[in-house]
Chain A
């Protein structure tokens, strides 16, 4: 059983729309949750992290965490073509990160 699962992509959204990405994790003891963006051929870039239940906003990005449901999501508002990338959900346990398979997002101009 995978530790971190993300909704299968690819996800295609029109420019200006909201992109919604989902992630579930299996270990209830997981401490913190991260969203990374990875462009093709590049290494992951941290977008934001969250460790408390609820919402956390940073610019056009909002992370949502529900520990009871073992669910974390990322919303990208006003999507831009430059947001086209693979988004990786990562879960921290004992200082190690476990990554989901990633969801590829394409923003159509």
Chain B
């Protein structure tokens, strides 16, 4: 299967600072990547769709000025949490879209980044 990496795996920061998370597709080119957030005991919630060379598409209720997404190349998307606050503490997971046989496509997930804002 396709391999997706994320960095850092864990970050602790002070309230008010910004944190950048990188998502890379290691063995394939990903024109589309996705960013999810998962709170404890809850399922994954899609935050935004990141398309290479264009602006990200945000889901309803997600602040685009707070969660900055850049997809500058076919193998790298970044999520920057600006002016982080304790309520932003969560598990952030990226995925990459991979076309699959049968006219469908599949998403492969990165290992996730656990963000803790003090």
Contacts and interface: CB of A to CB of B under 8 A. Distances in A.
27 contacts: A31-B104, A32-B102, A32-B104, A34-B106, A36-B109, A41-B114, A43-B91, A43-B93, A43-B109, A43-B110, A43-B111, A44-B44, A45-B109, A46-B106, A46-B107, A46-B108, A49-B100, A51-B104, A88-B43, A95-B97, A96-B34, A96-B46, A97-B46, A97-B95, A97-B107, A101-B42, A102-B43
A89 to B, nearest CB: 10
B49 interface: yes
A56 B95 CA distance: 24
A98 B95 CA distance: 13
Overall SS of chain B's interface: strand
Given A46-B106, A88-B44, A92-B105, 18 more contacts: A32-B104, A32-B105, A41-B114, A43-B93, A44-B44, A44-B93, A46-B1, A46-B108, A49-B100, A49-B104, A49-B106, A52-B102, A92-B104, A96-B49, A97-B46, A98-B46, A99-B45, A100-B43
